[in-house]
Amino acid sequence: MLTNQSILMTGGTGSFGHMFTAMTLAKYNPRRLVIFSRDEMKQWEMAKLYGDDPRVRFFIGDVRDKDRLARALNGIDLVVHAAATKIVPTAEYNPFECVKTNVIGAMNLIDACIDQGVKRVVALSTDKASSPANLYGATKLASDKLFVAGNSYSGGNETRFSVVRYGNVMGSRGSVIPFFMSLLDKGGKLPITDERMTRFMITLEQGVELVWHAFEDMVGGEIYVKKIPSMKLPDIARAVKPDAQFDIVGVRPGEKLHEQMIGIEDAPYTYEYPEHFKILPAIHKWSEDPARIRDGAKVPNDFVYSSDNNKEWMSTDELAAWIHTNRHLVGKI
């Protein structure tokens, strides 16, 4: 699906963008991979990694600017939408800016993709979009709904939109693992928000593979949810520092005790597959479409997929081994 295609990725200089670029160039050999983002310094740094590769292009722009998107999407076949304002406290204290990027930016991209005849679009979502408790999650829920509805909004146009949703990316910039590691040399206790807190654990490689699968499988309007393990926050800390003692600092504004990726409201439209779930659109009876269901098994109507009721758990030793192997990437990806 991606071989010899022209691909554009919004927010392409972030953690996901770096991994998607490296893996996609290696496996699929696209005709073009355009990195669209607004940070010229991040683009300059990333360009040094691919300076001699004619397949990689860089395009300064912002998803808030519809005209710039239209220009960048000229001749593009596939789009990965990774641009977002995503730090929970930042969104709480800068709500207008969060809405402009996450909601208005999604609207702009949908319009521009339809107008430019893009074939398929996969948007990245978050666990926080399921039963949102903070502004970031609320904007991403709105974004998800926009991309799902974009399949009917496009009319006779062939542009199709789908969404992938996953939780905490292990070792990514700003996440808890590099934060704990940054405190090791300072001694003392590690700050823990709440000892009951649980989190889903996914690698960037798994996130990229889920996007690849969405491009191959999508009919339009599906939300793909990867099956991944959970961990308790104290166990994450012990994987970084086995003898860790904790300073309980309390839950931050808008933060959940447990991550949720599929809520009970979505259960009637959700199907299970060996490695993922798929939430089908409630509109237009698309959730009954055999082409979208394929070989999926309907989940129970009271089904909830959250980090505290997960069937799969990652051990402290497993995470410690992952950190040891990937230490050179932690906090840099």
DSSP secondary-structure letter at 251?
A: P
SS3 content of the chain, % helix, strand, coil (to 5): 40, 20, 40
Q: Are 220 and 128 in contact (CB under 8 A)?
A: no
With residue 120 as reference, give the H or E element that holds it.
strand 120-124
* H-only helix segments in the chain: 15-27, 40-47, 66-72, 88-93, 95-99, 105-116, 135-153, 176-182, 204-217, 233-240, 290-293, 316-326
Q: Are 293 and 271 in contact (CB under 8 A)?
A: yes
| CA distance linking residue 163 with residue 281, whole number of Å | 11
Q: Catalytic: which of 128, 140, 226, 227? A: 128
| CA distance linking residue 85 with residue 94, whole number of Å | 10
Residue 70 tokens read as 């239209």
- The question of whether 128 is a catalytic residue gets the answer yes
In sequence order, which residues have a C-beta less than 8 Å from that of residue 200 and are 6 or more positions away? 127, 166, 167, 168, 228, 229, 230, 259, 261, 307, 310
Q: What does the chain come to in residues?
A: 333
Catalytic residues: 128
